[in-house]
Amino acid sequence: MATQMTTGRRGLTFVRTAIALQTSAVFFQAATAGLLLATSYGELLHGVGARVMYGASMLYLLAAILAWRPGGGPLRPVLHASGFLVLASVQVVLGIAHVPSVHVPLGVLMFGLSLLDLGRAVRARP
């Protein structure tokens, strides 16, 4: 029983860390989007940030799966992480296609959803 509780706390900490990294990466993307318009190095930063954000969303999905299956955690974070990874994939495609009329509002939506999910994860108890 004590081992399962420790695994649950460890899994919850991993999920919290992953969602915090994802939220930070999405916020960084918003900042570099402004730099993209104002500086010559903004495009480079935004491109690197996009890769980090996509990796962070994959890490969040991995953390959610590991907390769910072996740790006995809830399924809901897995669904949230999967949905966010789909949104991140759409965001990448829209960014590459240079469709800012959808890319920018979707980025704002993603930041809001990630922030809400971070708040949920912080309030969660093992």
Question: How does pLDDT run across 29-57, given as a tens digit for each residue?
Answer: 999 998 988 998 999 999 999 999 999 99
Residue 71: per-residue pLDDT: 65
Predicted local distance difference test score (pLDDT) of residue 126: 64
* Spatial separation of the C-alpha atoms in residues 64 and 71, rounded to whole Å: 10
Give the span between the Cα atoms of 114 and 15, in whole angstroms: 12
- What pTM did the predictor assign? 0.85
Q: How confident is the model at residue 58 (pLDDT cuts 50, 70, 90)?
A: very high
